[in-house]
Structure 1
Amino acid sequence: MRKSSSALPAILIGLASALFFTMTYVLNRSMAAAGGHWAWSAALRYFIMWPLLTVLVGLHGGWPSLWAELKRHPLQWLLWGGVGFGVFYVFLALSAEYGPSWLIAGSFQLTVLAGPLLSPFIYTDERRRIPLKALAVGSLIVLGVLILQLGHFQLAMPASAWLALLFVLIAAFTYPLGNRKLMLHLERQGVLLDASQRVLGMTLGSLPLWLCVATYGYVQAGWPSESQVLQSAGVAVSAGVIATTLFFRATHMMANNPNGLAAVEATQSTELLFALLLGVLFLGEHWPSAFSLAGAVLIIVGMVLYSRISAPSELEARAFEPEG
């Protein structure tokens, strides 16, 4: 009982982080529905995060050690920042063109499978093993995503829906790929950087890609509207700064409590519920059908089970990844 009580504050912080993370899906969908070009929705987030994180890291004296690491290994940061933040968010922003926020939020939960499936291609030690129980539970999440999608499209998914699902799938895999490869690089170099330093470093590494994306957005649609800039700032602050800080705080509180860490990890499944409520209330999105709701329940159950059965090493690998 004592452990459960001590975990409650961390769980509440985890729930708050999930709420702020959800703003990514809701605001991206809002910008897409208003005609904002996806390229600006994606690039503006990281352009705005850059100075905010620079100030945040500077306030606790983390800039010198990060800058030294960036100068030593610039290609690693450019490559994995470009993959983990750049490619990931390009496709997540693109997917907002094709469906309501809750559909994208639910589908992105496929990322819980991505980590284990990528492990044999990332690690050379015991972490390369794929936990079979986790894989089985992950399959439940995949089934939930398919039911969620089929229910939304009334059992007949058009080509555009499959394309959107492909975009989300690419985002779900490139996010942990970039993050884990970067963390593995730091591990091999014996470099210790905290969460905000890693997020800032990967943001800086992704900037060349964002300059290209923004140029494409300008050629296609001109400058972004004031509303799109403000909503992108909302994503940058809520998901990129507040949610990340809260989530790392919660996982740090439970670093020596595997059950507590699993509970904090499970709070991220509520992103789907938050996206559903916010989308319906503020964007006027249609309430999902009973068939889609069944898929949503499967996803949430799968997320909770996954967090409970994952080995502590796997939980730590996922919990201490910076959120994009």
Structure 2
Amino acid sequence: MFKLISLGILSGAFFSTTFVLNEAMSLEGGHWVWSASLRYLFMALFFTAIILFKSGLKELRDLFGLFRSHWKFWIIAGGIGFGGFYALICFSANFSPGWVIAATWQFTVVASLFIFMMFGHSFPKRIWFFSSLIFIGVVLVNLSHIEKFDLKILLSGGLPVLAAAFCYPFGNQLVWEATNGNHKKLPNINSPLLHSVFNKILLMTLGSFPLWIVLVLITRPPAPDLSQILNTSLVALFSGVFATGIFLFARNLASNSNELAGVDATQSSEVIFALLGGILFLGSEVPGIESLTGLMLILIGLTFFVKYQK
């Protein structure tokens, strides 16, 4: 479990670049649709190159064949887990700073448990206690920075992130269930190609493309500038390649629902890294006592996962 938690925290550090760079792009006037869709275009290019270099052209062809064989599943899993999740995150960047989105995103710790229960998994009571500690810490971090109630910011900046907190674990869990053949209503995709995390990410990335096409056609955003293209490529590299690869690798190592919950809980570390990134690169304020208390609760919750989930 210590190994799983360590990998999860490392992925959280890379994931946090998403919130910092998205806030920077929003401040520069970049449209949220390009911030979201260009990331996955770059991810498709990066992972295609990685797979070609690592495994060769034949495996890439076989991978596209696997996508065609179960295209409906991959569009649903990728459209929800990658597309829906990240579109909502980028939309929220227009209304909330990166640290708020990163903190609110930690609701995925609780959302993941509901997703697992939806698929028939159960947990010992201590799992809920650990998750509650983390979530209370997240709430404290949010409350410490709220100066006045703003319904527009709450609805436009907060609710989409809460919805995204369900989309990401749901999409990933769909893939986990299909890969392990644990659900009667999902295809049993028992392919050696899915032993590679890189292959899974490329399949889900390709599955998200229909959503990006629809969003671009609906919103008709102005063309992105060079800065936004560069920043989305960095998000794709740090968050899409490094963070997602490490996170899904850790999930693949998990052998039961308790370990899966532990890995998902490590994503709470993103708020810590996002706060540090905001202070260092965007001039954000140093957190006060409430924020520090919240961060301590998050760390305590993660420590309990490491100590008692063995």
TM-score class, shorter-chain normalisation, is 0.7 to 0.9
- Alpha-carbon distance, 1:115 to partner: 1.8
Aligned residue pairs, count: 297
Quote the Cα distance in structure 1 between the aligned partners of 2:131 and 2:118: 18
Equivalent residue number for residue 150 of structure 1: 143
SS in 2 for 1:71: helix
Q: Which moved more, 1:201-210 or 1:263-272?
A: 263-272
Quote the Cα distance in structure 2 between the aligned partners of 1:208 and 1:249: 26
SS in 2 for 1:157: coil
Equivalent residue number for residue 20 of structure 2: 26
5+ long unaligned stretches in structure 2: 182-187
Quickly say closer, same or farther: Cα 1:143–1:251, change in 2 above 3 A.
Answer: closer
Quote the Cα distance in structure 2 between the aligned partners of 1:176 and 1:266: 11
- Residue by residue over 1:177-207, the C-alpha shift from the partner in whole angstroms, topping out at 9 and shown as x without a partner, is 0111122123222234021111000000110
Quote the Cα distance in structure 1 between the aligned partners of 2:251 and 2:70: 28
Quickly say closer, same or farther: Cα 1:165–1:297, change in 2 above 3 A.
Answer: farther
5+ long unaligned stretches in structure 1: 313-324
Match of 2:45, as an amino acid?
A: P
Quote the Cα distance in structure 1 between the aligned partners of 2:132 and 2:149: 20
Quote the Cα distance in structure 1 between the aligned partners of 2:234 and 2:75: 25
Match of 2:167, as an amino acid?
A: T
Q: Which moved more, 1:114-123 or 1:60-69?
A: 60-69
Alignment map for 1:1-324 (pairs within 5 Å) = 15-61=9-55, 62-123=59-120, 128-154=121-147, 156-163=148-155, 164-188=157-181, 189=188, 190-192=190-192, 193=194, 194-217=196-219, 219=220, 221-247=221-247, 268-310=267-309
Quote the Cα distance in structure 2 between the aligned partners of 1:267 and 1:136: 15
SS in 2 for 1:60: helix
Match of 2:302, as an amino acid?
A: M
SS in 2 for 1:152: coil
Using structure 2 for the length normalisation, give the TM-score: 0.84
Quickly say closer, same or farther: Cα 1:305–1:279, change in 2 above 3 A.
Answer: same
Whether contact under 8 Å (2:269, 2:298) holds in the other structure is no
Q: Structure 1 vs Structure 2: percent identity of aligned residues?
A: 37
- Alpha-carbon distance, 1:93 to partner: 1.0
- Residue by residue over 1:262-295, the C-alpha shift from the partner in whole angstroms, topping out at 9 and shown as x without a partner, is 9977764432222111111111122233223322
Quickly say closer, same or farther: Cα 1:180–1:290, change in 2 above 3 A.
Answer: same
SS in 2 for 1:129: coil
Quote the Cα distance in structure 2 between the aligned partners of 1:185 and 1:33: 40
Equivalent residue number for residue 185 of structure 2: none
